[in-house]
Chains A and B, each alone.
Chain A
């Protein structure tokens, strides 16, 4: 589902800073609250937008609801704590679903997340643990490197030529991969996926596998164990740009880039997974470490 953003309108607030434009927001996974989460703003920050863009969508942290600007006024979804994307702490039966009030223009920003999508939490011992104070005072989802994962049984991002991913994560005691933090795969076959993770050298990588033909881009930094990082990776359809802790990963090592790929390239029986890649052989390359948040956009955030 294509975005038709009204670009090049950075929105200054009272302090002169720039807000990101909502057209870039596809989905966000927030491990702190175990939910799909839009960007948070206070009422003061929202009031400072002069004027808001039509279709802009935020979670109001003062009013505790999701609100969208329709070009004239803010439309509020839900009341009190009921708005936005609903999350439930992990349990054997927990699930997540997007809010039924998200319709119209904002839905396009949320790509293929619609009312029917459910984030299926693995049951029993396969559930990642919610661990406190992993990211400062903030919680994280801790994956055991064995079988923990979270899965959406559908495409989260449909075929897009460009995209951006941002992950807040903490490495485990060992950073010897390959292990995958987030992936979209065809769960019915063995070799069809796009995944992002840490390779055998301890470097970040993104890899697409089209029926056994792999295309891989690898970062330059060897990650340290038990260390917090944040990473952003943008793809404009030709070039990858990756930064780790606000420093460009330079050089990016390209292995058989040939066919460029992004998350939307995987079709079939799709699974979007946090904590590994699901194939016909089950969960592959399980992640050992913690995830604080994952953000996905259907556009390259670095495009002017």
Chain B
């Protein structure tokens, strides 16, 4: 065992780098001054201490270890301070090897300050960082630079503090990496004006929670904050402000912390297996929400104090037994938002449950809103309400109010041009009051409930497919829907969907990814950008072809979420024209 101290910038394998007295190897330790030491050959360093405090590479400010397509096996911890840097280029690897320590220490970066970690693998030549089977390593530290590309991490330990935390005025760039059999990881920053990229990363074989994004300060600039194209196999925790989330696969759903909105959340596949539901705010569009093995899925639980949210063009597919309740796709809970509160729900498609013979749940359930400052608007949604006439949860609705407490007047400020349907006669209702709270009258605004389209629904004890689940009492001060003049332009008839059976399983089959629900999930997990195609595929299926619906909506369009399907439309000439555009590199 020997301590080597660098004397010059140079290759690790050169004795001249270490004062001419040989080169450090297994059983040795090194101290690096303000030099750049290039690991040019496969190298082993360290004494295998059975602790997380002994540094076998001790770096000072200005020092740098650079691995150039070679490997470095570290048998111990690495001491880094402000201004020191660990760099890997394409084809390089690090193994944090505690196998000879006699214990299971989690080797890590120690000391203090804001160090630099720069890994520049390439698409064709990844870097790797790992620990042997049975061991883990830890990069939790404060960084003044964090740029990691195309690196495959295996067996990184769960964070115990703030995770990988950025220093003041420092962003991060973490893209195209894989994390296999890693613990709960976290990227953390309170900076308001930096670029943050966490894109195209893949998590495999994670624990119950795989990743937490904690950008906890409200941005003060338009610098990008991106979480794009990632595949999270288990739960993702969002504790950030203003992040653009796009093309991700959230295999364990999203657990929102605090009142933090997304800037926008689009084209994600969100698997809602978390019992407390998703907590999402901001603009939430063109996502695919699905859930399995959950007795009462709450796909989106509205919590944060965001006062204007849009939930639009999303697809919701339950694959649950729904043994505990019918399920609530959107669930505003009064203790989790602050009025005035407005939630616009438009152009969403709630599919038929692909596991049980029901719908996927109420599109929205006003649990206990109880305030006239709460405004929800529901426009152009397509909702299946298949429900057996008997059983634990017979005949439910697309829109439900007053579940745990009286909803307030005008909580449902708009209910227009929605398409609520069943696959056979006598299914659920258009809208309902769950419990007969006497004060819950006029929750649905009379003047703005109109132009909805129904098919195969039950009549409802308030007529026009409106229903009180408790005693059949009127929903409006003026009486039932007819007496109150609600939905006077309501239409009824078979929408003649282009293909009402479209869901993730049929998509998988049509696209050649398999034939089952889980085949479809696997296809998106492998390539999260496929969600955009899945959403477009389902939307195409739910285009109504009934000519009576063509302009029957309040805005002159077609009721429901999707465009009218004009059966005699032909795209041959458009296609021929597009073929002539090939010279534009399209």
A50 is an interface residue with CB less than 8 A from chain B = no
- Contact partner of B576 among A18, A239, A247, CB < 8 A? A18
Residues from chain A with Cβ under 8 Å of B571 in the complex = 302
Q: What size tier do the contact residues of chain B reach?
A: 35 or more
Determine whether the beta carbon of B580 is less than 8 Å from that of A40. yes
Determine whether the beta carbon of A138 is less than 8 Å from that of B576. no
Determine whether the beta carbon of B577 is less than 8 Å from that of A168. no
Minimum CB–CB distance from B308 to chain A (whole Å) comes to: 14
Minimum CB–CB distance from B416 to chain A (whole Å) comes to: 12
Residues from chain B with Cβ under 8 Å of A251 in the complex = 313, 347, 380, 539, 561-563
Determine whether the beta carbon of B577 is less than 8 Å from that of A228. no
Residues from chain A with Cβ under 8 Å of B394 in the complex = none
- Contact partner of B543 among A228, A238, A243, A250, CB < 8 A? A250
A278 is an interface residue with CB less than 8 A from chain B = no
Q: Mark B122-155, 1 if CB is under 8 A from A, else 0.
A: 0000000000000000000000000000000000
B566 is an interface residue with CB less than 8 A from chain A = yes
Name the segment of B199-207, B430-438, B549-557 touching the other chain.
B549-557
Minimum CB–CB distance from A176 to chain B (whole Å) comes to: 10
Residue of B nearest to A170 (CB): B584
Question: Once the chains are docked, how many angstroms separate the CA of A32 from the CA of B570?
Answer: 29
Residue of B nearest to A247 (CB): B536
Question: Once the chains are docked, how many angstroms separate the CA of A20 from the CA of B578?
Answer: 10
Determine whether the beta carbon of A250 is less than 8 Å from that of B570. no
Question: Once the chains are docked, how many angstroms separate the CA of A256 from the CA of B553?
Answer: 11
Known contacts being A135-B584, A168-B581, A228-B585, is A250 close to B568, with CB within 8 Å? no
A232 is an interface residue with CB less than 8 A from chain B = yes
B335 is an interface residue with CB less than 8 A from chain A = no
Question: Once the chains are docked, how many angstroms separate the CA of A236 from the CA of B564?
Answer: 13
B1 is an interface residue with CB less than 8 A from chain A = no
Determine whether the beta carbon of A138 is less than 8 Å from that of B583. yes
- Contact partner of A304 among B346, B568, B578, CB < 8 A? B568
Question: Once the chains are docked, how many angstroms separate the CA of A293 from the CA of B573?
Answer: 17
Question: Once the chains are docked, how many angstroms separate the CA of A168 from the CA of B582?
Answer: 10
Determine whether the beta carbon of B555 is less than 8 Å from that of A250. no
Known contacts being A238-B551, A255-B555, A301-B574, is A136 close to B540, with CB within 8 Å? no
Determine whether the beta carbon of A136 is less than 8 Å from that of B576. no
Q: Mark B214-242, 1 if CB is under 8 A from A, else 0.
A: 00000000000000000000000000000
Determine whether the beta carbon of A232 is less than 8 Å from that of B574. yes
Minimum CB–CB distance from A198 to chain B (whole Å) comes to: 16
- Contact partner of A250 among B285, B540, B572, CB < 8 A? B540
Residues from chain B with Cβ under 8 Å of A293 in the complex = 581, 584
Question: Once the chains are docked, how many angstroms separate the CA of A29 from the CA of B578?
Answer: 15
B266 is an interface residue with CB less than 8 A from chain A = yes
A280 is an interface residue with CB less than 8 A from chain B = no
Determine whether the beta carbon of B585 is less than 8 Å from that of A230. no
Minimum CB–CB distance from B142 to chain A (whole Å) comes to: 32
Determine whether the beta carbon of A301 is less than 8 Å from that of B573. yes
Minimum CB–CB distance from B538 to chain A (whole Å) comes to: 10
Question: Once the chains are docked, how many angstroms separate the CA of A10 from the CA of B543?
Answer: 28
B286 is an interface residue with CB less than 8 A from chain A = yes
Determine whether the beta carbon of B573 is less than 8 Å from that of A302. yes
Residues from chain A with Cβ under 8 Å of B540 in the complex = 248, 250
Residues from chain B with Cβ under 8 Å of A250 in the complex = 536, 539-540, 543, 562-563
Question: Once the chains are docked, how many angstroms separate the CA of A32 from the CA of B583?
Answer: 10
A275 is an interface residue with CB less than 8 A from chain B = no
A222 is an interface residue with CB less than 8 A from chain B = yes
Residue of A nearest to B577 (CB): A20
Determine whether the beta carbon of B584 is less than 8 Å from that of A301. no
Known contacts being A250-B540, A251-B562, A302-B569, is A292 close to B584, with CB within 8 Å? yes
Interfacial residues of chain A within 237-264, with CB under 8 A of chain B in the complex = 238-239, 241, 243, 245-248, 250-258
Interfacial residues of chain A within 176-234, with CB under 8 A of chain B in the complex = 220, 222, 228, 230, 232, 234
Question: Once the chains are docked, how many angstroms separate the CA of A243 from the CA of B536?
Answer: 11
A39 is an interface residue with CB less than 8 A from chain B = yes
Question: Once the chains are docked, how many angstroms separate the CA of A168 from the CA of B580?
Answer: 11
Residues from chain A with Cβ under 8 Å of B564 in the complex = 239
Question: Once the chains are docked, how many angstroms separate the CA of A232 from the CA of B577?
Answer: 10
Question: Once the chains are docked, how many angstroms separate the CA of A248 from the CA of B571?
Answer: 11
Residue of A nearest to B379 (CB): A253
Determine whether the beta carbon of B572 is less than 8 Å from that of A222. no
Known contacts being A234-B574, A253-B347, is A138 close to B584, with CB within 8 Å? yes
Residues from chain A with Cβ under 8 Å of B573 in the complex = 18, 20-21, 24, 301-302
Q: Choose among A166, A251, A304 the residue with the greatest number of B CB atoms under 10 Å from its CB.
A: A251
Residues from chain A with Cβ under 8 Å of B561 in the complex = 251
Residues from chain A with Cβ under 8 Å of B579 in the complex = 17
Known contacts being A230-B586, A248-B540, A295-B577, is A18 close to B572, with CB within 8 Å? yes
Question: Once the chains are docked, how many angstroms separate the CA of A258 from the CA of B556?
Answer: 6
Question: Once the chains are docked, how many angstroms separate the CA of A140 from the CA of B569?
Answer: 32
Determine whether the beta carbon of A238 is less than 8 Å from that of B550. yes
A4 is an interface residue with CB less than 8 A from chain B = no
- Contact partner of B586 among A135, A164, A236, A256, CB < 8 A? A135
Determine whether the beta carbon of A304 is less than 8 Å from that of B580. no
Residues from chain B with Cβ under 8 Å of A20 in the complex = 573, 576-577
Residue of B nearest to A10 (CB): B572
Q: Mark B527-562, 1 if CB is under 8 A from A, else 0.
A: 000000000100110010000001101011100011
Residue of B nearest to A137 (CB): B585
Residues from chain B with Cβ under 8 Å of A243 in the complex = 574
Determine whether the beta carbon of A232 is less than 8 Å from that of B585. no
Residues from chain A with Cβ under 8 Å of B581 in the complex = 166, 168, 230, 293
Residues from chain A with Cβ under 8 Å of B566 in the complex = 236, 239, 241, 302
Minimum CB–CB distance from A238 to chain B (whole Å) comes to: 7
Residues from chain B with Cβ under 8 Å of A168 in the complex = 581, 584, 586
Question: Once the chains are docked, how many angstroms separate the CA of A245 from the CA of B578?
Answer: 9
Known contacts being A257-B556, A258-B556, A293-B581, is A304 close to B543, with CB within 8 Å? no
Minimum CB–CB distance from B507 to chain A (whole Å) comes to: 14
Residues from chain A with Cβ under 8 Å of B551 in the complex = 238
Minimum CB–CB distance from B150 to chain A (whole Å) comes to: 22
Residue of B nearest to A139 (CB): B584
Q: Mark B171-213, 1 if CB is under 8 A from A, else 0.
A: 0000000000000000000000000000000000000000000
Q: Choose among B286, B570, B574, B575 the residue with the greatest number of A CB atoms under 10 Å from its CB.
A: B574
Determine whether the beta carbon of A304 is less than 8 Å from that of B570. yes
Residues from chain A with Cβ under 8 Å of B555 in the complex = 254-257
Question: Once the chains are docked, how many angstroms separate the CA of A18 from the CA of B536?
Answer: 27
Determine whether the beta carbon of A246 is less than 8 Å from that of B578. yes
Question: Once the chains are docked, how many angstroms separate the CA of A39 from the CA of B570?
Answer: 20
Known contacts being A253-B347, A304-B569, is A17 close to B576, with CB within 8 Å? yes
Minimum CB–CB distance from B170 to chain A (whole Å) comes to: 24
Residue of A nearest to B560 (CB): A251
Question: Once the chains are docked, how many angstroms separate the CA of A230 from the CA of B577?
Answer: 11
Question: Once the chains are docked, how many angstroms separate the CA of A258 from the CA of B557?
Answer: 9
Interfacial residues of chain A within 255-286, with CB under 8 A of chain B in the complex = 255-258
Residues from chain A with Cβ under 8 Å of B586 in the complex = 135-136, 168, 228, 230, 245
Question: Once the chains are docked, how many angstroms separate the CA of A10 from the CA of B264?
Answer: 45
Residues from chain B with Cβ under 8 Å of A254 in the complex = 553, 555-557
Question: Once the chains are docked, how many angstroms separate the CA of A285 from the CA of B576?
Answer: 32
Q: Identify 27 residue pairs between A and B in the complex whose beta-carbon atoms are under 8 Å apart, listed by A's number.
A: A10-B572, A19-B576, A20-B573, A20-B577, A32-B583, A39-B580, A40-B580, A136-B586, A137-B583, A164-B574, A228-B586, A232-B578, A239-B563, A241-B566, A245-B586, A251-B380, A253-B346, A254-B555, A254-B557, A257-B556, A293-B581, A301-B573, A301-B577, A302-B566, A302-B573, A303-B570, A304-B569
Given contacts A292-B584, A301-B574, 19 further A-B contacts (CB under 8 A): A18-B576, A20-B573, A166-B574, A168-B581, A168-B586, A222-B264, A230-B578, A239-B550, A239-B563, A239-B564, A239-B566, A241-B563, A241-B569, A243-B574, A251-B539, A251-B561, A293-B581, A302-B574, A304-B568
